[in-house]
Amino acid sequence: MSKLKTAREQKNLTQEELSEKSKISVRTIQRIEAGTEPKGHTLRALAQALEIEEKSLQDMMAIPEPEVIQEVVPEVQEKLQPEINYSLVKIINLSSLLFILLPPLNILVPLLLMFTMKQRNNLVRQIISVQMIWTVMAPIVFMLGIFLKLGRQFTLVLMIVIVLSNIFIILRNAMEIDRNKKMYFRLNFNMI
């Protein structure tokens, strides 16, 4: 209940009566009772109409109302805010390194580890999403390199650069997770 409403009801006044007495519109009184803080002329007029000191009314308005706290069932709370074990997150991230030459596995292994290690948090989803993007982009870049017909040496160098880029992404993210508990290379969205 609003503090102004409490003070108004103690004086046995309706909003309309307080409006007439204070020369403040009913709509303004409704807004204040809904939570808007009165200032200046409005505060003075309401305090005078309620026959209380301005400071007293202002102090009443400043006191926050007690909030209703609802108990959250532990299982629901766990789903709302999963515990992040950063050591396990790093293991999940580094597991992609083992299967860097087998692109579907660099996604599937971290995905399986996410479920078995019970790390279904946003950070792990980002790790898997980055691997998914890399897995899609790597063959596209490779095919573009082949279509340029710059020779076998270029194709070999391109393959090595593609693989090294993923190694760099994985290792750089592992370092950032270790230092700052976040990813260095991340997306603005999750693919899973």
Q: Which residue has the tokens 């009165």?
A: 38
Cβ–Cβ under 8 Å, residues 130 and 186 = yes
Average pLDDT of the chain, as a whole number: 84
At 83-117, the pLDDT tens digits run 788 889 999 999 999 888 888 888 999 999 999 99
For the chain, the domains span 3-62, 75-180
Instruction: Indicate if the pLDDT at residue 61 is higher than 80.
Output: no
Percentage of the residues of the chain whose pLDDT score is greater than 70: 87
- Ranges assigned E (strand) in the chain: none
- The pTM assigned to this predicted structure is 0.55
What is the separation of C-alpha 149 from the centre of its chain, rounded to a whole number of angstroms?
46
CA 91 distance to own-chain centroid: 24
- What integer pLDDT is reported at residue 165 of this predicted model? 93
13: nearest Cα among 27, 32, 26: 26
The count of residues in the chain is: 192
In what helix (H) or strand (E) does residue 151 lie, and over which residues does it extend?
Answer: none
The vertex-48 CA angle with 43 and 53, nearest 5°, equals 75
User: Is 3-62 CATH 1.25.40.320?
Assistant: no
- Answer for the pair 190, 122: CB distance below 8 angstroms, yes or no: yes
The tens digit of pLDDT for each residue in 137-157 reads 999 999 998 888 888 899 899
